[in-house]
Chains A and B, each alone.
Chain A
Amino acid sequence: MTSGTLTPPRKERAAPDAPRPARRSRRKPFLAPYLFVAPFYVVFAAFGLYPLVFALQLSFTDWKGAGEANFIGLENYTYLLTSEEFWSSLGNSAVMWLLIVPLQIVGGLAAAVLLANAKLRLRGMFRVAFIAPFVTPLVAMAQVWIVAFDTDYGLVNHLFNSVGLPDVDWLQSTVWAKPTLALLFLWKTTGFAIIILLAGLQAVPGDVYEAAALDGASRKRQFWSLTLPLVRRSIAFLVVVQTLAVFQMFAEPFVVTQGGPYGSTTTGGLYLYNHILASDLGTGAANSFLLVLLVFALSLLSVRLLRSRDE
């Protein structure tokens, strides 16, 4: 396409009696798309891009929420990267990840296989039971957790005592607080994992299993050689999504342990919040960008692993 074919000669364009309909028809397709997409970009700029740019700007300042903001370069980043607490919060998140994600994938897949079986009795009831925690407000569940796992008066220790086991400091010991919170997270979100895995399982065509059965493959063999490879995209999706959720985990430790005892349940999300709460907005912003980078890297790794298996 050359400019000659698109642009009329200057003389012709300047002529007062130039045919108007022709000019209108050229402008319309040029402006209309922009007008139609403009609302999205305006909203995106106001609520997506502007906060992002603002937060990035903040991360290079010492702003406390009031008064002057001084540009301090990379100081917030170097402070965090040399801070024992920052690494400890990431360590806590990593331990939580190990306690949650593998267990959730294995347990969620087992439950999804069970629920996919049309012969299962009370299938509807089980589905409701699995999904109910996912739609229940987290704060209500967290309060139940606090009462149930109270050292002195909690139901769990009462049950332990009834079989001769001693009290456990579930929420007040550095050893047990993380598993107790991980259990709450599992209770809350495993329903979501089951939905994703169930959708993956139901997308597998039935004739694949029929063919395998005709070839003499056992149920166990079918699971390992057909089911698992065919739902691996769903599994990879869950790994990415739950990695994001675990590293941003905030409400569970905030309500149940306030990050304690001794910071042992201060996750990346809660540590970031603590900076904001202390009006240390510059450090909070820098912390959020470091978390974004970390989660982005972990997500990229998961996607790459999936792609390499596809290839």
Chain B
Amino acid sequence: MEGHQRNLYLYDRFNARVAGVSRDQVATLEHWAKDLGLEFPIFSNPIGHLGIWFGALQAGYPMFNRTTVIIDKWGVIRYMQPGNPNYREILTVLKQLHEEEGRR
């Protein structure tokens, strides 16, 4: 979370937006985001559709496994990695997508 907040100015530079998804309730996320000073949206998805969609919800396990997904402007998933975010990898992919966008 902190890493994404730290890199917001770079995401802007690459014409990208970041959003989080969690199974926590809205009130919990609101408090948490305020406490951490986060300035990007975090969606509350208690039922877990998105986790099922992106393969981040294991059967019998109540929480999402951390997963990072990058979707390009045409709606195509271009990057998906489980585990802690690799911010340098993410920024490299966003830079490539931004360059691609300029060429199309």
A binds B: no
Give B contacts to A, CB under 8 Å. none
